[in-house]
């Protein structure tokens, strides 16, 4: 159980870095625009090369056509050769762009302070529960190198027990989150799987030291950073995230987050599950520097109040618990709550637990997403207290607006690694 100080100051900082690799594009069938032109009854056809043939050249088929052209019956073996080549080409393409993955997102306590997902590392597979975090880009785990005094119930990864682990010699990492939590250590590469999707030789950062808030959180065995690889802290050479490594084999270059209030949701890789949202996904551009999923909201509304159209730039961050917005918006919200106050003592907006809270609506382009009041009545200050702490807090101390789990669990979110990247929200 995270201490209450962790609760109040859940802001996290991830160090910046640079450089991410984009996967090669697989040729797709291109329907060429008709290059022909008509001029007073005469037709001119311009020849254009099919820029990206869907399939490679099939020599046997060309030979077959030559026989036909010269009126000579083609020998039987040519026809079977055509099928052999076609099959091998189909299998090759299928093999390249076929993978997807789907895994559970389980809240680690009764107030959804963070969500963990089962992953496997190494051979034979070692299962750990990791926090998939779009606000950072280090994949690190409690390990056999973590001092036992700092391990309290977590599962650990032991590279020595994996036949496929390799030390990335001379490489170290160190990450510091804004709430004071942090960790550091060395790096191995090993097979890494989430929801059936495997990446061979994924950089797995083994903790040699973790801060107390991680030691205290026994149901969290580490993090999977799903921010842009530019944020990775491994030195001397930074490492790619699981998503960047998996992208070339994914049917679609996306992963989705379907986080739920006090319930298990899911993360999917490589596909958008139509059953998880209604209507359409509304997309908005992402600015990927310095490495967060940075985008704008198109405005907000408090309860049944009028929608205020105003661009609010921030980051969609599955690794941060609450929703942090500019003070002006937050005070407008709590003005509607009897007995609410911005408490120095408790480090944020608190109110009587019996208060009736309004909903909070945010815009993505023209679409609107409403956060139920229950999500914002976040938690009691202490189990016996009648004072409650808000799920909407001011971002003024952070220097960045953070659309954390309180907001994200009100939508189905598509993190699209296309070029340029974009983020999409669907109603659920
Ligand atoms: C993106 C998160 S850190 C994380 N999700 N691992 C963040 C960054 C900066 C501040 Cl000030 C507070 C929180
Ligand atoms: C990645 C950040 S997010 C957060 N502080 N809510 C994190 C998660 C779990 C622990 Cl125990 C410590 C820090």
Reported as a single tens digit per residue, the pLDDT across 23-45 is: 333 333 333 344 444 445 565 66
Span 267-279, average pLDDT: 98
Candidates 366, 365, 359; CA nearest to 410 is 359
- DSSP state at residue 248: G
Residue 209 clears pLDDT 60, i.e. is over it: yes
Q: What is the pLDDT of residue 189?
A: 99
- 319 CA → ligand 1 middle, Å: 8
Residue-level pLDDT at 24? 34
Taking the whole predicted model, whether its pTM rises above 0.90 is answered as no
Average pLDDT of the residues in 235-245: 98
Query: Which ligand sits closest to the CA of 405?
Result: 2
Span 131-145, average pLDDT: 98
Q: For residue 111, is it left (φ>0), alpha (ψ between -120 and 50) or beta?
A: alpha
Active site residue 317: yes
Nearest CA to ligand 1 atom 3: 12
- Which of 131, 154, 405, 406 should be mutated for ligand 2, with most atoms under 8 A from CB? 131
Specify the pLDDT at position 96: 60
Does the structure show a pLDDT above 50 at 177? yes
Among 27-31, 32-36, 47-51, 410-414, the range of highest mean pLDDT? 410-414
Which residue ranges have their beta carbon within 6 Å of ligand 1? 11-14, 133, 135-136, 177-178, 292, 315, 317, 319-320, 398-400, 402
Per-residue confidence (pLDDT) for residue 346, from 0 to 100:
97
Give the distance (Å) from ligand 2 centre to CA of residue 29: 45
Direct distance between the N- and C-terminal alpha carbons of the chain, in angstroms, rounded to an integer: 29
Nearest-CA neighbor of 334 among 310, 364, 363, 357? 357
Residue located nearest, by CA, to atom 5 of ligand 1: 135
User: What contacts 235, CB < 8 A, 6 or more positions away?
Assistant: 171, 172, 173
pLDDT band (50, 70, 90) for residue 46: low
Q: Is 205 in the pocket of ligand 2 (CB under 6 A)?
A: no
Q: What is the DSSP letter of 249?
A: G
pLDDT at 289: 86
Question: Average pLDDT of 81-97?
Answer: 83
17: confidence class by pLDDT, cuts 50, 70, 90: very low
- Of ligand 1's atoms, which has the minimum distance to the CA of residue 315? 1
Catalytic residue among 133, 244, 258, 268: 133
Across the chain, mean pLDDT equals: 90
pLDDT reading at 106 higher than 80: yes
The order of strands in the sheet holding 392-394 is 367-371, 360-364, 294-302, 308-316, 401-403, 323-325, 392-394
- Determine which residue's CA is closest to atom 11 belonging to ligand 2: 214
Longest dimension (CA), the chain: 93
């Amino acid at each position: 159980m995270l201490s209450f100080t962790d609760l109040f100051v859940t802001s996290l900082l991830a160090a910046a870095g640079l450089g991410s690799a984009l996967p090669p594009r697989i040729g797709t069938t291109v329907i060429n625009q008709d290059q022909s032109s008509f001029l007073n009854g005469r037709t001119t056809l311009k020849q254009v090369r099919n820029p990206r043939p869907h399939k490679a050249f099939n020599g046997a088929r060309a030979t077959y056509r030559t026989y036909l052209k010269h009126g000579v019956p083609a020998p039987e073996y040519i026809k079977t050769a055509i099928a052999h080549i076609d099959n091998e080409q189909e299998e090759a393409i299928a093999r390249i762009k076929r993978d997807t993955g789907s895994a559970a997102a389980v809240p680690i306590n009764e107030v959804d302070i963070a969500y963990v997902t089962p992953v496997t590392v190494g051979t034979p597979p070692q299962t750990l529960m990791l926090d998939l975090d779009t606000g950072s880009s280090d994949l690190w785990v409690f390990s056999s190198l973590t001092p036992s005094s700092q391990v309290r119930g977590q599962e650990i990864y032991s590279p020595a027990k994996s036949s496929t682990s390799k030390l990335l010699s001379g490489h170290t990492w160190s990450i510091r989150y804004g709430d004071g939590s942090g960790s550091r250590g060395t790096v191995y590469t090993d097979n890494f799987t989430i929801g059936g999707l495997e990446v061979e030789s994924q950089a797995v950062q083994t903790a040699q030291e973790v801060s107390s808030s991680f030691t205290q959180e026994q149901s969290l065995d580490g993090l999977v950073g799903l921010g842009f690889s530019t944020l990775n802290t491994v030195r001397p050479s930074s490492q790619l995230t699981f998503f960047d490594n998996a992208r070339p084999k994914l049917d679609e270059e996306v992963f989705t987050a379907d986080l739920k209030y006090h319930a298990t949701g899911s993360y999917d890789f490589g596909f958008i599950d139509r059953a998880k949202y209604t209507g359409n996904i509304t997309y908005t551009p992402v600015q990927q520097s310095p490495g967060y999923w940075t985008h704008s909201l198109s405005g907000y509304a408090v309860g049944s109040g009028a929608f205020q159209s105003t661009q609010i730039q921030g980051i969609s961050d599955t690794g941060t618990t609450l929703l942090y917005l500019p003070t002006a918006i937050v005070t407008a919200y709590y003005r509607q709550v009897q007995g609410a106050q911005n408490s120095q003592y408790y480090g944020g907006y608190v109110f009587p637990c019996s208060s009736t809270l309004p909903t909070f609506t945010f815009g993505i382009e023209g679409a609107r997403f409403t956060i139920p009041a229950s999500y914002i009545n976040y938690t009691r200050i202490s189990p016996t207290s009648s004072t409650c702490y808000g799920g909407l807090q001011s971002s003024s101390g952070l220097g960045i607006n953070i659309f954390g789990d309180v907001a994200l669990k009100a939508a189905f979110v598509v993190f699209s690694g296309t070029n340029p990247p974009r983020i999409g929200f669907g109603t659920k």
